[in-house]
Amino acid sequence: MADKGNDSKKTSRRKFLIKGGLGTVGVVAIGAYIFRNPIRRELLGFANSLEAPYTDNTDKPMMWFEVTKINEILLHSPKMEMGQGTFTGIAQMAADELSVSMDQIKVVHAASSTGNVDSFATGGSTSISGLWEPLRELAAMLRVMLIKEAARKMNVGIDELSVENGIISAKGKSLTYALAAEGVENWEIPDVPALKDIKDYKFIGKPVPRVDLDAKVYGNPIFGMDAEMPGMLYGAVVRPSKIGSTFVSADISAAEHMPGVVKIIVEDDFVGVVANSMMEAEHAKNAINVTWGNYGDLDTAAIKNMMTVGNGNSTTIQKNGNAFGEDDDFEILEFRSPIGAHAQIEPNGVVASVDGDSATIKISTQVVSITRKEVAKRLGLDTEKVNIVPTYLGGGFGRRLHTPHAVQAAVMSKAVGKPVKYFFSRKEEFQHDMFRPPTHHIIKGKLNSEGFLDTLEHEFVSGDVATDSALIPNFLTNFLGADVGAIRGGFIQYTAIPNFRAVYWHVVLPFATSWWRSLGLLANTFAMESFIDEMAIKAKKNAVEFRIGQIGESPIDVRLKNVIKAAAKKANYHEEVINGRAMGFAASIDANTPCAQVAEVSIVDNEIVVHKVTVAMDPGLAVNPDQIRAQCEGCVIMGISAVLYEEMFVENGELTPTIYGPYQMALMKNAPKEIDVVLLQGKDTPGAVGEPPLGPIGAAIANAVRRLTGERLTELPLKLSKTV
Amino acid sequence: MEISMTVNGMHKTVSIADENTPLLWVVRDTLGLKGTKFGCGKAACGACTLHVDGEAVRSCSYPVKFAEGKDVTTIEGLGDRENPHPVQQAWIDEVVPQCGYCQPGFMMATAALLNKVSKPTDEDIDNNIINVCRCGTYYRMRKAIHKAAELHSKKEIYESKEL
């Protein structure tokens, strides 16, 4: 059960605020959950076992729940729904503590005007784990408040009342939550009640269907791209195609007088056009002649040169025992991963309306608070007067942690005095993505006489992930000494090895790189788990036994060993090639969630084909086992896409390709026909789910190819060098 | 100029400045049917898939003038909560969507496939369902497509008995 030891974890009574009159019978606005500083921990070790708590805005009261006239509960979610299933999980948590049915909970995105906005972000696989305790406590408090009012209205003792499906009953009489809340002005604020026993939950722990299924199956207009405002115009922003371009000047004479053009906006940092229709805005944009400066003619080879261990600044993030001496013999392998694009299908888009001293922004964003602050700052508005109305996200994957387009749309709206909608073209999405940085890894290892590792060193270099982003300002990175995103997965998990070291090198690239689902985990785990497999082969040991033999005995170590054993058992892991197929094994820990995978692979027409992937993961308590499985399946397939096909290039100073197809991604035909997921529960609270399964997939496939062909593939995307 | 077509069973006449405007934007912005999605504008991802005379079409690259006199079906016309299309029912049964943005395109592509191949094999699915899903829901989609084929054939049997 939840840890109740720390006072700061309890819901603050003082922060409760009750108000009414927003068109519903009983509007209950429930107060803030005390900020728990996620940074005040062991700094770098923490970064790799990140279980960031939910962080809210402590200044303002926050509306979590509304009780509606038809006896439904509206839950205003501070976390965005981007496919990860958070809305379903939090609906289960709220329904159980409120004693209502799933049908009675309606989850909506909290708009920033209601105050219930996460001051950090939706990301890092933290939504369910972070809300686990506060949301259930708040729901339980609301239940107690409603029961107290019902007792008063029904003139019966509280102890005589029971609740089911939002109906409070005693002695043959009953009252709905809606009627209990009706007319109440002075709510009695209770202490945080005891939460229900987990075994008594009806929904938590069950494979409840997604609450957004109907909206998504019947094509409801729920996404940012679907948002509109009355009288809105269409905007477009001119973007350079060359890396590093800075704005020099713009010739707008041709575009100015084109049909439908309302205004051309030339700012210091962008040139925008507003027109009556989207097509007119696009045509005018293409007629604006911008002079760009400072760009160069970089190519992929130049980027690879920059991205080489030894360049930039280094930080030792982990150290045990002794490093290799100059005269030591060791095995050494180098690995590389390419620039990766988010390629989320919904382009970045926004509708902004600036009216006098206030603004309304409808947008798919993972960072409501940051979007809000950036718009307020640029327009000189009071932050309180900027209302961010978040929509469902047509994919997040970290791409929507950056929303400068909200600022641009707001500037354009202010300039024309009308709402403006604008979104990226696919070419702009590909050229102006905040890419997954390329990486380079050098791993050295030496076996002892028993055939286990005596010394292991991982040196790796990455572009920015967290460094200098709006979420983690540069000063904090300097303070931490390493990019907390790039080092995800870079730690050595085989801590029983006597001597090991992990060193991170930081190189700043000439184009923006940033958060891409699972951050450094994908590349770091590919490199390390490939190397470990090679050492197991050298030691003539079974890959599973080789791993188990070098993992420590701490709680997370034990959980890691358990998922490794579970995956091997479920997949019936072996190291033979049978009927042209081989298995590959890999495991990782991310955000305190261990995950092991077995990939079953063959070569067909000289292409790597993944037939089956077995996943064993221990995310702690599973709030919704079906959606955890869905995240595992999705990570396996997105991972296959990233490690077998995806790669951005730089040619003549431009990022390319700029369209799906040439930017090759996994399609239906590339997805495994079988994905077998085993869930373990090694701790009694929910943990990270949405990213950890991306760790092992690259090495699991590469290790299967090694067993199948003898070839050790060391570069992503994995390509066979010889005809098999 | 004016374009007349049937959209989800209803006769529609739209007046449009540029007859080469993609059907996608007429459906989304003129007719207000937002279920058909913009993904790439180059017929490369399939998010904008709808039916023209029963055929799957990537509407971002289909000039509206070609829809003159034709029968257009979007996800909104495929089925609804009261009467879901077998593909939609299968998608619900298998809990397919994650972010959901690409899903209408996939469901429309699947419905068109089932009209031609009532019992598609895995190979049929691989060759015909070639849209892009970033969340990686292909695994559940494949199960849902097989299930939809079952529901579809049952529905056909049921409907022919009704007659």
Torsion sign over Cα A321, A324, A330, A335: positive
Beta carbons of B39 and B45 less than 8 angstroms apart: yes
pLDDT at A342 (0 to 100): 98
Best CA proximity match to A501, nearest among A314, A238, A255: A314
pLDDT at A480 (0 to 100): 64
Q: Does the pLDDT value for residue B154 go beyond 90?
A: no
pLDDT at A118 (0 to 100): 76
Best of B30, B95, B124 to substitute, by most chain A Cβ atoms within 10 angstroms, is B95
pLDDT at A474 (0 to 100): 60
Beta carbons of A117 and A110 less than 8 angstroms apart: yes
Between B37, B92, B138, which is nearest A668 by CB? B138
Would an 8 Å CB–CB cutoff place A224 in contact with chain B? Answer: no
**Cα–Cα distance, B155 to B161 (Å, whole number):** 10
Q: Do the two domains A7-217 and A224-294+348-423 of this chain adopt the same fold?
A: yes
Shortest CA gap B49–chain A (Å):
12
Helices (H), A99-172: 127-154
Best CA proximity match to A600, nearest among A460, A707, A449: A707
Angle, vertex CA A543, rays to CA A540 and CA A545, nearest 5: 90
pLDDT at A49 (0 to 100): 45
Q: Which residues of B touch A675 (CB under 8 A)?
A: 139
Tokens of A569: 């058992």
Neighbours of A415 (CB within 10 A): 18
Q: Does the pLDDT value for residue B112 go beyond 80?
A: yes
pLDDT at A113 (0 to 100): 83
b/e burial code for range A563-586 (CB count within 10 A of at least 16 → b) = bbbbbbebbebeeeeeeebbbbbb
Would an 8 Å CB–CB cutoff place A216 in contact with chain B? Answer: yes
Residue given tokens 């059960």 in the structure block = A1
Query: pLDDT for A655-675, tens place per residue?
Result: 999 999 999 999 999 999 999
Q: Which residues of A touch B131 (CB under 8 A)?
A: 667-668
Looking at domain A7-217, its CATH architecture is: 2-Layer Sandwich (3.30)
CA A145 → CA A29, A72, A164, A348, distances in Å? 12, 16, 15, 42
Would an 8 Å CB–CB cutoff place A332 in contact with chain B? Answer: no
Best CA proximity match to B97, nearest among A215, A668, A670: A215
Shortest CA gap B82–chain A (Å):
11
What is the pairing mode between strands A349-355 and A593-604? unpaired
Contact check, Cβ <8 Å, A346/B41 = no
**Cα–Cα distance, A80 to A391 (Å, whole number):** 8
Neighbours of A712 (CB within 10 A): 16
Taken in order of first residue, the domains within chain B and their CATH numbers are: 2-77 (3.10.20.30), 86-162 (1.10.150.120)
Q: How confident is the model at residue B161 (pLDDT cuts 50, 70, 90)?
A: low
Best of A212, A631, A668, A691 to substitute, by most chain B Cβ atoms within 10 angstroms, is A668
Q: Which residues of B touch A343 (CB under 8 A)?
A: 132, 134
Would an 8 Å CB–CB cutoff place A225 in contact with chain B? Answer: yes
Best of A109, A208, A217, A436 to substitute, by most chain B Cβ atoms within 10 angstroms, is A217
Beta carbons of A359 and A407 less than 8 angstroms apart: no
Residues 6+ apart with CB under 8 A from A87: A77, A81, A107, A210, A211, A212
Q: Strand, helix or coil at A93?
A: helix
Helices (H), A235-277: 253-256
Contact check, Cβ <8 Å, A394/B21 = no
Residues 6+ apart with CB under 8 A from A667: B126, B130, B131, B132, B138
CA A180 to chain CA mean position, Å = 39
Q: Which residues of B touch A672 (CB under 8 A)?
A: 139
Q: Does the pLDDT value for residue B43 go beyond 50?
A: yes
Contact check, Cβ <8 Å, A637/B40 = no
pLDDT > 70: what percent of chain B? 95
Q: Which residues of B touch A216 (CB under 8 A)?
A: 97, 100, 103
Would an 8 Å CB–CB cutoff place B30 in contact with chain A? Answer: no
Q: Strand, helix or coil at B127?
A: helix
Best CA proximity match to B67, nearest among B112, B145, B6, B140: B6
For the whole model, what pTM was predicted?
0.93
Shortest CA gap A221–chain B (Å):
5
pLDDT at A472 (0 to 100): 64
pLDDT at B24 (0 to 100): 98
pLDDT at A10 (0 to 100): 39
Best of B80, B135, B143 to substitute, by most chain A Cβ atoms within 10 angstroms, is B135
Q: Which ipTM score applies to this complex?
A: 0.97
- Give the B window 84-143 contacts with A, CB below 8 Å: 84, 88, 91-92, 95, 97-104, 107, 122, 125-127, 129-142
CATH code of A302-339+434-709, in short, is 3.30.365.10
Residues 6+ apart with CB under 8 A from B25: A278, A279
Contact check, Cβ <8 Å, B107/A397 = no
Between B37, B129, B135, which is nearest A83 by CB? B135
Successive 10-residue mean pLDDT values, chain A, 724 residues: 35 38 35 30 42 44 79 91 97 97 96 78 85 90 92 94 96 92 79 92 98 98 98 96 92 96 94 95 96 90 96 90 88 98 98 97 94 96 95 96 95 98 97 96 97 97 80 61 84 96 93 94 98 98 98 97 98 98 98 97 96 98 98 98 98 97 98 98 96 98 97 97 70
Task: Report the DSSP beta bridge partners of residue A609.
Answer: A602
Q: How many CB pairs under 8 A join A and B?
A: 169
Best CA proximity match to A665, nearest among A602, A708, A717, A589: A717
Query: pLDDT for A366-410, tens place per residue?
Result: 999 999 999 999 999 999 999 999 999 999 999 999 999 999 999
pLDDT at A61 (0 to 100): 52
**Cα–Cα distance, A454 to A21 (Å, whole number):** 69
pLDDT > 90: what percent of chain A? 76
Best CA proximity match to A493, nearest among A484, A502, A504, A483: A502
Between A210, A347, A665, which is nearest B95 by CB? A210
The DSSP symbol for A537 reads: H
- Give the B window 57-86 contacts with A, CB below 8 Å: 74-76, 79-81, 84
pLDDT at A327 (0 to 100): 83
CA A18 to chain CA mean position, Å = 33
Best of B58, B85, B88, B98 to substitute, by most chain A Cβ atoms within 10 angstroms, is B98
Task: Report the DSSP beta bridge partners of residue A73.
Answer: A67, A105
Residues 6+ apart with CB under 8 A from A396: A80, A82, A83, A84, A122, A123, A344, A364, A366, B99
pLDDT at A479 (0 to 100): 59
Q: Which residues of B touch A637 (CB under 8 A)?
A: 136-139
Looking at domain A224-294+348-423, its CATH architecture is: 2-Layer Sandwich (3.30)
In chain A, domain spans: 7-217, 224-294+348-423, 302-339+434-709
What rounded mean pLDDT belongs to chain B?
95
